Amino acid sequence: MMADEMKNLGFARLDISRGERTGLPETIYCPGKTTEQLIGILRAFQEKGLAVLGTRCSQDQANAVCVSQLPVKYDATAHTLLLEGRRPHPLPGAVAVCTGGTADLPVAEEAARTAEYFGAQVERFYDVGVAGLHRLLNSIDSIRRDQVVIAVAGMEGALGSVIAGLVKSPVIAVPTSVGYGASFHGLAPLLSMLNSCAEGLSVVNIDNGFGAAVQACRILNLLHHHHE
């Protein structure tokens, strides 16, 4: 029951068939991997004709991979590296990715790029933080039309609470380490989101745009299965 097609590269156990098994394709967490390891993993996917997304990929890693002539695209804001290839079926519905400020963009784009790689349609609502509430209220009708909301915010992290009180959809809140002093590297928005007075909010790790995207796409995937 638990057997699976797993390509062992010596330094890592790839999970090539994961796409079929869990509904969402494999991704590569780049930190700590050498150029050789990274290229080796990418080639393994390329041989299968599969696309794959690397996350938290540094500019240096991206540069090194580009030299290898692999068909990759690097997004310097999201820190994602996309190997072109066969992509999964599109997911039904759409994800709204919202941020409190412009400094939250890297985390938001990590979420957006990951969700797009998984086949989701993404709508971006950036710089709609609660300090200027009109910005959020101007966009709220569009946000309401999406099936899942990812709310990315640092500092006091109130964005998630305010949105969750205004929409019916599940809201996935991502605290960011944007801030200083008593932010304690994202602890403040993390606690804030966990203690939301609004309902319909669940939280992922600080700066974990990727994790929010996976959760959002697992939810969209449910719609997919119900459609078929």
Residues 61-100 that bind a copy of itself (CB under 8 A): 92-93, 100
Decide: 91 and 85 in contact? Cβ < 8 Å: no
User: Which of 14-22, 45-53, 62-70, 79-87 is the region at the interface with a copy of itself (rule: CB under 8 A)?
Assistant: 14-22
Q: Is 226 in the site for a copy of itself (CB under 8 A)?
A: yes
User: 31 exposed, middle or buried (CB, 10 Å; 0-12, 13-18, 19+)?
Assistant: exposed
Restricted to residues 18-57, the positions that interact with a copy of itself (CB under 8 A) are 21-24, 31-33
For a copy of itself, the binding residue among 116, 117, 190, 209 (CB under 8 A) is: 190
With CA atoms as reference, report the closest residue to 100 among 194, 167, 177: 177
Q: In the bound complex, what is the minimum distance in angstroms from residue 5's beta carbon to a copy of itself?
A: 12
Q: Which is nearer to a copy of itself, 82 or 219 (CB)?
A: 219
Query: Which of the residues 109 through 148 are near a copy of itself (CB under 8 A)?
Result: 127, 129-135, 137-138, 147-148
Among 7, 15, 87, 123, binds a copy of itself (CB under 8 A): 15
How many residues are recorded in the chain?
A: 228
**Per rule CB under 8 A, is residue 180 in the interface with a copy of itself?**
yes
Count of chain residues binding a copy of itself (CB under 8 A): 91
Alpha-helical segments (H) within 49-158: 59-67, 105-117, 133-145
Among 39, 97, 156, 209, binds a copy of itself (CB under 8 A): 156
Buried b (16+ CB within 10 A) or exposed e, 186-201: bebbbebbeebebeeb
Give the closest residue to 199 by CA, choosing from 220, 168, 226, 174: 168
Q: At what angle do helices 209-227 and 105-117 cross, to 10 degrees?
A: 30
Q: Are 42 and 12 in contact (CB under 8 A)?
A: no
Q: Does 182 bind a copy of itself (CB under 8 A)?
A: yes
Does 202 participate in binding a copy of itself (rule CB under 8 A)?
yes
Among 122, 191, 209, 228, binds a copy of itself (CB under 8 A): 191
